[in-house]
Amino acid sequence: MVTLDVFICQENISLYKKLLVDPNISDGQRDLIGKMLAEEEAKLLNLFSQEQETAKDFNLSPSVQPESPA
């Protein structure tokens, strides 16, 4: 269910970026949101690398070809 996790990370990143431009938050809140944003971006990169590995697992190697229908 990596795709759903990617979507959630992207939504969280979008929300955190919107919160960071709010002039009404304190410096402490800004620091905390910045840390949460960095964690979410790292998580997203990890999920993307997992998706790439999964995609490679489903590809056939060049030496293995599907049988042609007779």
pLDDT tens readout for residues 36-67? 999 999 999 999 888 777 777 776 455 545 56
Q: Is 16 within the bounds of a domain?
A: yes
Q: Is 65 within the bounds of a domain?
A: no
- Full 3-state SS string of 40-70: HHHHHHHHHHHHHHHHHHHCCCCCCCCCCCC
Residue 29 belongs to domain spanning:
2-52
Q: Is 38 within the bounds of a domain?
A: yes
When pLDDT is averaged across residues 31-38 and rounded to a whole number, the result is 98
> What is the overall mean pLDDT for the chain?
85
When pLDDT is averaged across residues 11-37 and rounded to a whole number, the result is 97
Q: How many domains does the chain have?
A: 1
Q: Is 11 within the bounds of a domain?
A: yes
- Is 90 exceeded by the pLDDT of residue 68? no
